[in-house]
């Protein structure tokens, strides 16, 4: 549909509108080539315009805000647990956040960092006098993991005093996800919220048409990789378009932004990178 000169003009215009995705010319040129109609091209351009691709400076600005929030909870003689939302032994972005916080938080015995929820629960055998427990993660697409972790913690922390407060601190979250979390009565602080990439921007009829177009574009991708099925519109149909540069992208993102194989199982260049599914 597009020759190289036309693609270059489009990319130049997109980079002017959203500089955060500049430097990804090859991946985006390939993405534009996926489009078979003007309507599909318009949808891809819309998606690229709303994409949030955080730089190191933007990430560290949010980490500083997180530090200020945690510090504001500190009361003399009342320790705070700051816990990565990681659950098992796999590497997790919440652990990366904990690691970054170590260089920003004051060196204080009243702020105790934990690298996962299970290690926090095990530590309660030795220290359980927390008044605040802040559970940290990078991103939520639907809110379901936050809700699951909250329920797990409330059932497995009987050693904590009844007046200990659980809250969740998220760097970024989808608007619908934050609403889902709050509807469960869970305290949550988030520093950046994103609308759903299609239903957050189009009315019901137009959104239905745009979703059909996106699914047509997804048909150009491998329907599964190994045992993993392509998550249409992102896991939980989250419609996300967000990542941190050089980090593992959330699987809540539109697959066109990160799913690594085409329908014929050949490798794709992608805007976002994700290891594991």
pTM exceeding 0.85: yes
Identify the CA nearest to 34 among candidates 275, 266, 273.
266
Shared-domain flag, residues 30 and 50: yes
pLDDT at 225: 96
Is the distance from CB of 187 to CB of 10 less than 8 angstroms? no
Choose the final residue of a domain: 194, 219, 234. Answer: 194
User: 81 and 134 in one domain?
Assistant: yes
Q: Are residues 190 and 201 in the same domain?
A: no
pLDDT of residue 1: 66
Order the strands of the 132-140 sheet from edge to edge. 111-114, 80-84, 132-140, 165-174, 188-194
Domain extent at residue 230: 4-54+196-257
Please tell me the predicted confidence (pLDDT) of residue 226: 93
- Per-10-residue mean pLDDT for the chain, 277 residues long? 84 95 94 95 98 96 95 87 90 94 88 94 88 96 97 89 89 98 98 98 96 98 96 98 96 98 96 86
Does 79 share its domain with 170?
Answer: yes
CATH number assigned to the domain comprising residue 80: 3.40.50.2020
Q: Is residue 182 part of a domain?
A: yes
Q: Are 29 and 78 contained in the same domain?
A: no
pLDDT for the residue numbered 75: 84
Looking at the fold, whether 176 and 202 belong to one and the same domain comes out as: no
């Amino acid at each position: 549909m597009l020759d190289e000169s036309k693609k270059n003009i489009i990319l130049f215009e997109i980079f002017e509108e959203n500089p955060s995705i500049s430097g990804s010319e090859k991946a985006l040129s390939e993405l534009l080539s996926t489009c078979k109609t003007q309507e599909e091209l318009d949808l891809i351009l819309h998606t690229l315009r709303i994409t949030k691709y955080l730089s190191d400076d933007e990430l560290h600005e949010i980490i500083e805000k997180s530090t200020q929030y945690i510090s504001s909870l500190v009361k003399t003689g009342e320790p705070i647990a700051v816990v990565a939302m990681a659950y098992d032994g796999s590497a997790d972005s919440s652990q990366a956040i904990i690691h970054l916080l170590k260089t920003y938080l004051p060196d204080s015995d009243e702020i105790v960092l934990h690298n996962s929820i299970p290690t926090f629960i095990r530590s309660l055998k030795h220290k359980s006098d927390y008044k605040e427990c802040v559970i940290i993660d990078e991103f939520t697409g639907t809110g379901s993991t936050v809700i699951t972790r909250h329920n797990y913690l409330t059932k497995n922390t009987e050693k904590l005093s009844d007046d200990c407060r659980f809250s969740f601190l998220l760097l970024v979250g989808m608007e619908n996800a934050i609403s889902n979390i709050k509807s469960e009565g869970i305290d949550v602080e988030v520093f950046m919220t994103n609308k759903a990439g299609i239903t957050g921007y189009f009315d019901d009829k137009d959104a239905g048409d745009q979703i059909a177009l996106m699914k047509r574009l997804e048909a150009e991708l491998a329907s599964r990789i190994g045992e993993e099925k392509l998550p249409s519109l992102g896991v939980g149909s989250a419609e996300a378009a967000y990542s941190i540069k050089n980090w593992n992208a959330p699987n809540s993102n539109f697959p066109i932004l990160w799913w690594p194989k085409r329908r014929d199982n050949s490798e794709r260049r992608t805007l976002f990178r994700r290891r594991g599914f």
